[in-house]
Chains A and B, each alone.
Chain A
Amino acid sequence: MSDPREEWQQAYDATTLREGPFDTMSGVPVDAVYGNAPYPGQYPYTRGLFAAGYRSRLWTMRMFAGFGTAEDTNARFKELLRAGGGGLSTAFDMPTLMGRDSDHEWALGEVGHCGVAVDTLADMEDLFADINLGSVSTSMTINGPAIMIMAMYIAVGEKTGVDRSALAGTIQNDILKEYQAQKEYIFPPRPSMRLITDMMKFTSAEMPKWHPVSISGYHIREAGSTAAQELAFTLSNGFAYVEAALAAGLDIDDFAPRLSFFFNSHSDFFEEIGKFRAARRIWARWMKERYGATSERSMRLKFHTQTAGVSLTAQQAEINIGRVAIQALAGALGGTQSLHTDAYDEAMALPTEDAARIALRTQQIVAHETGVTNVVDPLGGAPYVEWMTDEMERQAEEIFAHLLDIGNDSILEGAYAGIDNGYYMGEIADAAYRFEREVNSGQRIIVGVNDFTEGDDGQRNLLRIGAEVEEYQLKRLADVKQRRNSDAVTASLTRLASEAADPEVNLMPTMIEAVKEFATEGEIVATLEGVFGTYVEKAVI
């Protein structure tokens, strides 16, 4: 059988669909797909990963939140689970993300703020208390100290009788974009990659339900890149992890299906849609042609989308709701697997509950009222959309060529070289400055900022985290330090240091031992810094 249309039909027919009807608001029935081959579900997946698209399953409406103490978040997790959710999304506070304890001098004012504070295994135990880790899927947004947090999660499972092989979830663990954009790095790039490789090997061997890296362009875009740069830097980071895993002896079809992506959805509607479509096509081609993947699952790029935090304005904040709706629609038309919509008041502070609810409702409108979910890749075949998709791909390929050039034919080496010589940071800073100048000169209108500015009452309720959280956490940390066996802590840290110095050893087992002795995140980081060094970026302005 070789007719693509027939093939598509078969695949579509074999899919379990959501409940219909799949017709317009006025009752006009519509087909599942229009236009030409390759159809959705067919290589290179420009038109979508699966034949039936959102007719089979809507995107996951994932809302990422969390602040306060581990106990606060635990209560919310349980609420979520009671309400039928099966996925827990964990945000950590700034000190935790930076691998420092709550009693670090810079932690003041940050503890428990944009996420939960985790200093030791005790916090992690509180965070997941009374939750059966064998029956949930947990996503953890953390990068620099990912290996410690992962070790703690495994240890909590062990202590509650859940074998690590039963643990399911994702850890962001995308360190390359930290050097390039988000700047939450700890160690220099190469030792950081070694930690990631250790985790990829460990999860490949022992944790079949775990996704060890989620490759994130979101932060690259937030830092000011263009859409094409976001696309290219993110995918090339993906290639870099693939090359690192291959070099570590893993089989591509073993681990590539476990990689997932995370993109930004900004306001230039068609550019975003072109970006998403190009992302699928590029990934499929590179996986197949360059890296020799044979499984379709390796070639299918799955991604999560979040609306653009940077696009939110402090001025006339309510109008952000309009921006978020348009960006969410672009994500849906681009075929995202899951979506987070920003709250309109996030430009100034943490989202209030009301604003978070409106954000969720906004994507529900897109899913249930607009009808875009009736047809798979409804824009496919439109000349402008196809041109934009090609253009995004062309620009991305130019960037890949540059990376291969500076990396002597290796994307991984190209990524190191680009971080080292300031390539990424320079490109992003240039793009951000160009945009800023255009807004400044009035060439580019941002509603409420440089035009249509009347009507801002400036009154907004802001959510603040009380100082109690910090006090509580500091006391908790002190208590744990008091109670633990400090000789055992020292011994495990010493072993960790010596293993860190030997790149042949997988650090994961000893890491698990160390967190079980209640070594703090800060202590483990300091130990590893002693071997790996601390990264100081070259400021590229």
Chain B
Amino acid sequence: MSEPQLRVVLAKLGFDGHDRGIKIVARILRDAGMEVIYLGLRQSYLNVVNAVEQEDADAVGLSMHNASHMTLAPKMVEALAAAGLDVPVIVGGIVPDEDVTELLEKGVAVVLGPGASAEQVAISVRDAVAAKA
């Protein structure tokens, strides 16, 4: 077998129901040869932590389109760390430029803007995973 297959948990936290983007990302990652554990809408931190543990995922992708990204994303990073899970958290969706630095400081591995191409999405996931290895 060649390169081991990456496994990525994709989720949306909280109330946010905009799932156009996360579904597109799911397909992009699948088409880049990854296995996507798709949790979808309205997930709790615990659901994501459980999924990462049980599925032995290599990365977590969060899609965020509401005001609460500054609250939810750092909390997700904390919840994973508290469970001893050293996996990168990648945030995509609508995040104003001025929030990016703070998110990165709070442990988010990558923030993908709305203009990210399919290649950029797949590469950032690979790179973020490689950076943890």
Q: A109-B68, A110-B66 known; A183 and B27 CB under 8 Å?
A: no
Q: A432-B20, A432-B23 known; A440 and B118 CB under 8 Å?
A: yes
Would you call A315 and B115 a contact (CB within 8 A)?
Answer: yes
Q: Does A387 contact B (CB under 8 A)?
A: no
What is the distance, in angstroms, from A219's C-beta to the closest C-beta of chain B?
9
Q: Does B14 contact A (CB under 8 A)?
A: yes
| Those of B58-112 within 8 Å (CB) of chain A | 66-68, 70-72, 94, 96-98
| Those of A54-101 within 8 Å (CB) of chain B | 94-95, 97-98, 100
Q: Does A30 contact B (CB under 8 A)?
A: no
Hey, what's the 0/1 contact readout for A160-193 against B, CB within 8 Å counting as 1?
A: 0000000000000000000000111000000000
Which residues does chain A contribute within 8 Å of B35, judged by CB atoms? none
Would you call A541 and B15 a contact (CB within 8 A)?
Answer: no
Q: Does A531 contact B (CB under 8 A)?
A: no
Q: Does A458 contact B (CB under 8 A)?
A: yes
Closest to B121 in A: A440
Of B13, B20, B114, the residue contacting A222 (CB under 8 A) is B20
Which residues does chain A contribute within 8 Å of B33, judged by CB atoms? none
Would you call B23 and A100 a contact (CB within 8 A)?
Answer: no
Q: A110-B68, A458-B97 known; A433 and B24 CB under 8 Å?
A: yes
What is the distance, in angstroms, from B25's C-beta to the closest C-beta of chain A?
10
Which residues does chain B contribute within 8 Å of A348, judged by CB atoms? 94, 96
What is the distance, in angstroms, from B68's C-beta to the closest C-beta of chain A?
3
Q: Which one of B19, B26, B41 has the highest number of Cβ atoms from chain A below 10 Å of its Cβ?
A: B19
Would you call A110 and B14 a contact (CB within 8 A)?
Answer: yes
Complex: how many Å from CA A116 to CA B13? 21
Would you call B15 and A98 a contact (CB within 8 A)?
Answer: yes
Would you call B23 and A537 a contact (CB within 8 A)?
Answer: no
Of B23, B66, B94, B118, the residue contacting A541 (CB under 8 A) is B23
Would you call A108 and B15 a contact (CB within 8 A)?
Answer: no
| Those of A309-342 within 8 Å (CB) of chain B | 310, 313-315
Of B23, B70, B97, B119, the residue contacting A429 (CB under 8 A) is B23
Q: A348-B96, A349-B96 known; A109 and B40 CB under 8 Å?
A: no
Q: A314-B113, A348-B94, A465-B67 known; A541 and B20 CB under 8 Å?
A: no
Of A95, A347, A462, the residue contacting B114 (CB under 8 A) is A347
Q: A314-B113, A541-B27 known; A100 and B40 CB under 8 Å?
A: no
Q: Does A113 contact B (CB under 8 A)?
A: yes
New contact pairs (18) apart from A95-B15, A106-B15, CB-CB < 8 Å? A100-B15, A109-B67, A109-B68, A109-B71, A110-B15, A113-B67, A223-B19, A224-B24, A314-B115, A347-B94, A429-B24, A432-B20, A432-B24, A437-B118, A440-B117, A462-B98, A537-B41, A541-B38
Residue ranges of B at the interface with A (Cβ–Cβ < 8 Å):
13-20, 23-24, 26-27, 38, 40-41, 66-68, 70-72, 94, 96-98, 113-115, 117-119
